[in-house]
Chains A and B, each alone.
Chain A
Amino acid sequence: MEKWENNRAWFLVLPVFVVVAFSAIIPLMTVVNYSIQDIFGPGNAVFVGTEWFEEMLTDSRLHDALGRQFIFSGLVLLIEIPLGILIALAMPKKGWGVSASLITLAIPLLIPWNVIGTIWIIFTRPDIGLFGVGINSLNLLDVPFDHTARPSFAWITLMAMEVWHWTPLVALLCYAGLRAIPEAYYQAAKIDGASAWSVFRYIQLPKMRGVLTIAVLLRWMDSFLIYAEPFALTGGGPGNSTTFLSIYLVKLATGQFDLGPAAAFSLIYFLIVLLFSFIFYQALLNVGKGEKIA
């Protein structure tokens, strides 16, 4: 093997290596280490091989949480992406309305996540909350509305919160994409006699593909990893109805101190997120193949 001429080049890579090691590699390898041991206490662990992985893969509570997670993230994408596009299309293109709508949209994004949970708890409370009192005064429901009363109520509250919180991000991304389309495209479409739908279908949507890819990926990953909001709102209840993967994981790891199974679970969780992000990315890349991503 050839000798390196200048070994000092290593020192230049070292800082990055140290940072990455402490931020990613060491924590990840610790989790891998835990996942193959049964830990009774500090310095008291037994090697168990793939036992925890097998246990986790057959755990019915995990399956339920995973199912819930898919439904939740699916609904998030189905609601937030079209809604975000609609908001972006409806936003003003010039004048004071632009800054006004941009600031209004940015407000939910600026609020800390656990504060959002608290806001919505108060908002939906049946005794003092605007929404809770309002919907109960209509007397439409057989049970008074309370986000802890029924699984469906908890889901509705959670979805409303999630949509309120993150649709602005999708809208802002789409708005940026729309603004990047040269005016000449619209003129050309007008001269062709294209309808508003055709303009959307053949100009705006293809031109927004780049930002939509980012929006879908961000919303997918973020909603799949959701923790703070359901934790603040219901703590995973009522029952287990809003126990998503991360809530179940935390219960397992810090509630029961099952560090081994929790570590195995974390790795599986990580791989699922990675796999689906990759699938989405590939799928969006191949839609209308041949176009450049803006």
Chain B
Amino acid sequence: MGLQLENLDKLVGREIYLKDIRLDLASGSRHVILGRTLAGKTTLLRILAGLDKPTHGRILVDGRDLTGVSVRKRSVAMVYQQFINYPSLTVFDNIASPLKLAGISKQEIDARVRRTAAMLHIDNLLDRMPAELSGGQQQRTAIARALVKETQLLLLDEPLVNLDYKLREELRVELQQIFKQRDAIVVYTTTEPAEALMLGGNIVVMDEGRILQAGPTAQVYRHPSNARVAEIFSDPPINFVHGHVRDRQAWFGRGISLPLTGQLAGLAEGEYTFGVRCNHLFLKASSPEDIEIRASVELSEINGSETFIHVSYDDQKLVVQDDGIHQLKLGREIPVYVNPCHFFVFDEQGRLAAAPDQACHSNL
């Protein structure tokens, strides 16, 4: 099954929820919709499911218009952020519910429920009630209910966001395996760049109801078409430093200049925004090409086994992602090192003018 969205708009009152959505979802493909809250991810999923109608535009399935067709007649399953299970049914009956409604024979229901439950490691919990399960087990049940139908379209709306860190990691890896075995179109929404990268496949970056960029995940990560995509697809957000190119040199801040080499070689003179992801800023020099920026510490934030050091340099804020746990004194001046080969360059309209090339990634 191939699914095409043609110029979808969704307006609620005067507010634009979705604007000019065009997407082509091939059979068996996996898509992660990445966007911040209120980007329109859930609205798009609801339209894909058939729970909601677009204001304009069409949904085509193998060339057939499906725009107005009721959700009951579509082959679709959905997993939600909240753990949605029937509260008075056992895990078994919960997973079996879509099959029972489809009028499938008892033996087959039994076999399919057990197979799906085993895949999600809840086969020992089939007699329990949802309220007797942990959050992770409840969500596994909900996922099993979505998978058991073997629908052509599988939608997951931030399914792991309400789980704790450890369970999220675990389930994410399992889900990735499960998706690979299916020939359904999988659409998965998330706000987290790391999750999108881990799931792979294709990515659709959304912002304020529009699709900013769509394509293979790795490619979009390396070549964000504009500054906003780079911002959404980096966590913590990518650092931006304003600068300009003049006399075959790139200048930024207090007199730091660079020769135009590598990916920067093709830049014409003018104003630019230079972007660099936090994991490419270091507290120690690692190569002879590194440039040094003297910045003062504003905050150091410990996140798991990493420390995010917020520094300010020439009235511009930068975040350094440093391995290990460090407490740095506020206000202290420290050197920050960056290899210019990691620079993304965006022009005055925010469009990508230059991106790090493959050689730079490999010498990391």
Q: Which residues of A contact B (CB under 8 A)?
A: 182, 184-185, 187-188, 190-194, 198, 202-203, 205-207, 288-292
Contacts and interface: CB of A to CB of B under 8 A. Distances in A.
B81 to A, nearest CB: 7
| Most chain B CB inside 10 Å of its own CB: which residue of A184, A190, A203 | A184
A205 B86 CA distance: 11
A184 B98 contact: no
B71 A203 contact: no
B111 interface: no
Interface string B317-354: 00000000000000000000000000000000000000
A290 B51 contact: no
A276 to B, nearest CB: 25
A205 B88 CA distance: 9
Contacts of A184: 80-82, 84
Interface of B: 46, 49, 51, 71-72, 76-78, 80-82, 84, 86-89, 97-98, 101-102, 128-129, 131-132, 142, 145
B91 to A, nearest CB: 11
A287 B119 CA distance: 31
Contact of A191 (B49, B128, B129, B131): B49
A contact patch SS: helix
Contacts of B72: 190, 193
Contact of B131 (A185, A203, A292): A292
14 contacts: A184-B80, A185-B84, A187-B46, A188-B80, A190-B71, A191-B51, A191-B76, A191-B78, A192-B98, A193-B98, A194-B97, A194-B101, A202-B86, A291-B131
A292 B89 CA distance: 13
Contacts of B80: 184, 187-188
A193 B101 contact: yes
A289 B101 contact: no
B102 A193 contact: yes
Contacts of A187: 46, 49, 51, 78, 80
Contacts of A182: 82, 84
B101 A206 contact: no
Nearest to B100: A192
Contacts of A206: 86-88
A46 B148 CA distance: 78
A148 B283 CA distance: 94
B128 A192 contact: no
Contacts of A289: 129
B156 to A, nearest CB: 12
Contact of B71 (A185, A191, A198, A202): A191
A207 B84 CA distance: 12
Contacts of B81: 184
A191 B101 CA distance: 11
A259 B300 CA distance: 78
Contacts of B132: 290
Given A193-B72, A290-B128, A290-B129, A188 B101 contact: no
Given A188-B84, A290-B131, A290-B132, A202 B76 contact: no
Given A191-B71, A291-B129, 4 more contacts: A184-B81, A187-B49, A191-B77, A202-B86
Contacts of B128: 290
Contact of A291 (B77, B84, B87): B87
Contacts of B76: 191
A16 B72 CA distance: 60
Nearest to B102: A193
Nearest to A182: B82
A199 to B, nearest CB: 10
Contacts of B98: 191-193
Contact of A203 (B86, B102, B142): B86
5 shortest interchain CB distances as A-B pairs: A290-B129, A206-B88, A206-B87, A184-B80, A288-B88
Nearest to A205: B88
A290 B80 CA distance: 23
A179 to B, nearest CB: 15
A292 B131 CA distance: 6
A187 B157 CA distance: 12
